[in-house]
Amino acid sequence: MWNKEQKEAWEGLENLWNEQPESEKINIQIENLVLELKNKTSEFEKKSIQKDLDYIKENTSDFEKDSIKKDLKQITSFLAKFKSKKKKK
């Protein structure tokens, strides 16, 4: 689903994020929150979520997929501009 340009933009943003002084502390906090959420999610909830995701994947039209790709391309473009401006500072 990702093209080379999008992948590079996201990797660049990730690198920029990781270079920030507070990023390690924030990453640890996010990891802890994700683990806590996973531990508090029952097997029934996990199966229900997976069932919903499968339904969405199977019932997404080509028009919707194309629209999502277009949106991702715009977001990628924005992130590339943001990354470029942030590096100049």
Give the DSSP letter string of the chain.
Answer: ---HHHHHHHHHHHHHHHTSTTHHHHHHHHHHHHHHHHHHS-HHHHHHHHHHHHHHHHT--HHHHHHHHHHHHHHHHHHHHHHHHHHH-
pLDDT class for 43, splitting at 50, 70, 90?
very high
What's the domain range around 45?
4-88
List Cα–Cα distances, 87 to 7, 15, 72, in angstroms. Answer: 18, 11, 22
Give the number of domains in the chain: 1
Instruction: Report, as an integer, the average pLDDT of 9-21.
Output: 79
pLDDT class for 18, splitting at 50, 70, 90?
confident
Instruction: Report, as an integer, the average pLDDT of 16-42.
Output: 88
Instruction: Give the pLDDT confidence score for residue 1 in this predicted structure.
Output: 54
Please write the tens of the pLDDT for every residue from 48-85.
999 999 999 999 999 998 898 889 888 888 887 877 77
How far is Cα 6 from Cα 12, in angstroms, rounded to an integer?
10
Specify the pTM: 0.50
Q: Tally Cβ neighbours within 10 Å of residue 65.
A: 12
